[in-house]
Amino acid sequence: MKTIFVVDDNTVNLVTADETLSDHYNVITLASASTMFDFLKNIIPDLILLDIMMPDVDGFEALKRLRVDKRYSEIPVIFLTSKNDAVTEALGFEIGVIDFISKPFSGPVLLNRIKTHLHIEAIISERTAIISEQAETLKQRTEKLLRLQNSITSVLASMVENRDKLTGEHITRTTAYIRILLNAMVERGVYKEEMKDWDFEVVISSARMHDLGKIAVTDLILNKTGKLTDDEFEIIKTHATEGEKIIDEIIIESGDEAFLQNAKLFAGYHHERWDGLGYPRGLKGTDIPLQGRVMAIADVYDALVSNRSYKKAFTHEKAVEIIMENKGKQFDPELVDVFSEVNSLFRKVMECQ
Contact present, 266 and 294 (Cβ < 8 Å): no
Gap between the Cα atoms of 269 and 283, Å rounded: 9
Gap between the Cα atoms of 159 and 154, Å rounded: 8
Gap between the Cα atoms of 111 and 126, Å rounded: 22
- 3-class DSSP state for residue 50? strand
Give me the catalytic one of 139, 214, 312, 348.
Answer: 214
Pairing of strands 3-7, 47-51: parallel
Give yes or no: 224 in active site: no
Q: Positive or negative, the Cα torsion across 258, 263, 264, 269? A: positive
Q: Positive or negative, the Cα torsion across 1, 51, 86, 74? A: negative
H and E: helices and strands count for the chain: 15, 5
On the CB side of 226, CA atoms within 13 Å amount to 3
The Cα-based distances of 169 to 162, 164, 166 in angstroms read 10, 10, 9
Amino acid at 264: K
Q: Which residues contact 160 (CB under 8 A, 6 or more apart)?
A: 171, 211, 212, 214, 215
Contact present, 127 and 40 (Cβ < 8 Å): no
Show which residues are catalytic. Answer: 214
